[in-house]
Structure 1
Amino acid sequence: MTQPAKNPAENAVEIVEVGPRDGYQGIGPFIATERKIELLGRLVAAGLRRIEIGSFVSATALPQMRDTPDILAACKQFPDLEPQVLVPSERRGRDAVAAGARRLVFVLSVSEAHNRNNVRRAPEESADEYRRLLQAIPDDVAIRLDLATAFDCPFEGRIPEAKTLALLKRLVALKPDAEICLCDTTGRADPDHVGRLFSEAPSRFPEVKAWALHAHDTYGLGLANVHAAYREGVRIFDASFAGLGGCPFAPGATGNVATEDLVWMFERMGVATGVDLAALVSVARDGAALPGGLAGGRVRDALSAGSAACAVT
């Protein structure tokens, strides 16, 4: 892809807040629905507009997500919010649309081992599920495709770029105008790998107009990988407030890159995010304190320490 233009409007990024889904799903103690809605409202007030509010999945597999229909219904009280929900199958996608969802995220893995561990089927079978879902939902429902283990798999190791591109070839043909997000599920991707894949994929599939990156920070490279994708022209990035998260089906993976860290980096670069960092840090502090949560990130603590030092001075 060509390097980013100097026009600030073209350099602006969209941050997709995924904490209420990716951040919560691995937490054992159930977070009260009212608490989830309160935190959601504060994230919206901080300027986050597109938020992944939950997933339509088996309540047995992910009990934390059992109130997603209730959270989705509550989104009506936030006019500026654009909620999206994750679905792994045609059936769950139908359920989400019936509940009022108008933006779906369909997820499947490049790695067969991870896909079978996650949704009990091969990637090719998930691709067929995706095709059936596209045929089943109304045209006014927006679709995003999350390609998990696009860089690395907890079971198979590093994923060859050719393998990711081969699956993309099949999936892009099904819906060329879908937003496509490449996911570093384990947090083991490196900036060179991210840069190469985000250079090659848009060149191979110019019909795709919106690419995104879902980065985890397991090995401390989350921000570096985001920056590598940004240099290749990517402008949509997932992040989780307080760095909450970790894939239940990727042993050892920690949370997404922290939303506050992402905002801090981009604002320091002169790249607009539309997010009020002070308001975000306030809700991130409360998110980090959720019982059973695994928080990450650096900016939240750094700003808190700075404020304390100023108060003492």
Structure 2
Amino acid sequence: MSLPSVHRDPALPERVTIYEVGARDGLQNESGVIPLDTKLAFVERLTAAGLPVVEATSFVHPRWVPQLADAADLVARLDLHGPVPYPVLVPNERGLDRALESGVTHVAVFASATETFAAKNLNSTYESQFAMFEPVVRRALDAGVKVRAYLSMCFGDPWEGEVAVDRVVTAGRRLLDMGAYELSLGDTIGVGTAHHVEVLLDAFAEAGVGLDQIALHFHDTYGQALANTYAALRRGVTTFDASAGGLGGCPYAKSATGNLATEDLVWMLDGLGVAHGVDLSALAQTSAWMAEQLGRPSPSAVVRALTAG
């Protein structure tokens, strides 16, 4: 298998954590129902490839995301107390109830930096979403469950346009202050550019938020995901969300195309000499296999290059 030449930049972090979202964010928008056994095999193959965190599913109401209606059945077949965490997304207290009944140890909540997306994605207002999440976070923490917070529309909104940096920082701080251990900043429609990333990270730092509390979640709509990742690396961010094979999008924002492909991220990190612990060959084969299950080529350039022929 081809590998990039390694040229270590001492200004970059020595190691990063890849937070794999392919099994949840990557599959949630698929129109054809994917069998439970296929989803389970996908999660297990991602784990075997060395991903340190694999987000497994979402306990959202099946009416809103039918693809993930089997969340409890999937979680029941995972080792929730092994070395690899399998977080699940919970949209509200009802979702948390189902997740806790399933014995999960990590959950995530999904908030919006904008009014319109809060209405479309959460059936909420910007302000009332925080009141909705507060008991979710508190009850999860009381149960000994770790909570991560996603914040969407951090770089732009298809209905509202540019999103003010200070608004993103304010919303993010509120989620962290609730007790989330990590805040994932989402470029939901992929409009961010490298210096915008730097400006936003600097604003969080000025607001007293350590970069060890920040993750980044890029979409590659305009081909900027790797450039934006590199900018964040240079600022010292060490956690990045990615989706195997570049699967995914947001069912409530039609301009949100695929996530940053995990393989593309790994290839870049390998060339930079930044450790991550992922077996690129095994991961690429997993994504090629999943593409076959979905009946279309993988969106990832690295997957296509490594599995050609």
Q: TM-score, normalised by structure 2?
A: 0.91
**1:290 counterpart SS class:** helix
**1:27 counterpart SS class:** coil
Tell me the distance in 2 between the aligned counterparts of 1:222 and 1:254.
12
**1:218 counterpart SS class:** coil
Q: 1:7 to 1:100 in 2, by over 3 A?
A: farther
**1:126 counterpart SS class:** helix
Q: Which residue is equivalent to 1:73?
A: 76
Pick aligned residue for 1:93 from 86, 91, 96? 96
Pick aligned residue for 1:166 from 170, 191, 199? 170
Deviation at 1:208, TM superposition (A): 7.0
Pick aligned residue for 2:184 from 181, 184, 206? 181
> Alignment RMSD, CA only?
2.1
Q: Which residue is equivalent to 2:112?
A: 109
Matched, 1:261 2:254: no
Identity %: 36
Deviations 1:29-59 (A, max 9, x none): 1110011111111111110121110101010
In structure 2, runs of 5+ residues without a counterpart are 1-8
Deviations 1:84-103 (A, max 9, x none): 01112122123212211110
Pick aligned residue for 2:53 from 44, 50, 55? 50
Tell me the distance in 2 between the aligned counterparts of 1:50 and 1:162.
30
Matched letter for residue 83 of structure 1:
Y
Tell me the distance in 1 between the aligned counterparts of 2:164 and 2:87.
30
Q: Which residue is equivalent to 1:128?
A: 131
Matched letter for residue 146 of structure 2:
A
Deviation at 1:288, TM superposition (A): 2.1
Pick aligned residue for 1:199 from 187, 199, 202? 202
CA contact (8 A) 1:27 1:293 kept: no
Deviations 1:93-134 (A, max 9, x none): 232122111101110101110111001001211111121112
Matches within 5 A, 1:1-313: 6=10, 10-76=13-79, 79-137=82-140, 138-175=142-179, 178-206=181-209, 209-291=212-294, 295-305=298-308, 308=309
Matched letter for residue 207 of structure 2:
R
Tell me the distance in 2 between the aligned counterparts of 1:153 and 1:294.
29
Tell me the distance in 2 between the aligned counterparts of 1:24 and 1:294.
15
Q: 1:14 to 1:145 in 2, by over 3 A?
A: same
Name whichever of 296-305 and 228-237 sits farther off. 296-305
Deviation at 1:77, TM superposition (A): 8.1
**Aligned positions, number:** 301
Tell me the distance in 2 between the aligned counterparts of 1:208 and 1:222.
19
Tell me the distance in 1 between the aligned counterparts of 2:120 and 2:102.
27
In structure 1, runs of 5+ residues without a counterpart are 309-313
CA contact (8 A) 1:18 1:240 kept: yes
Tell me the distance in 1 between the aligned counterparts of 2:211 and 2:263.
29
Deviation at 1:293, TM superposition (A): 6.5
CA contact (8 A) 2:29 2:67 kept: yes
**2:56 counterpart SS class:** strand
Tell me the distance in 2 between the aligned counterparts of 1:37 and 1:168.
32
Deviation at 1:139, TM superposition (A): 4.8
Deviation at 1:289, TM superposition (A): 2.5
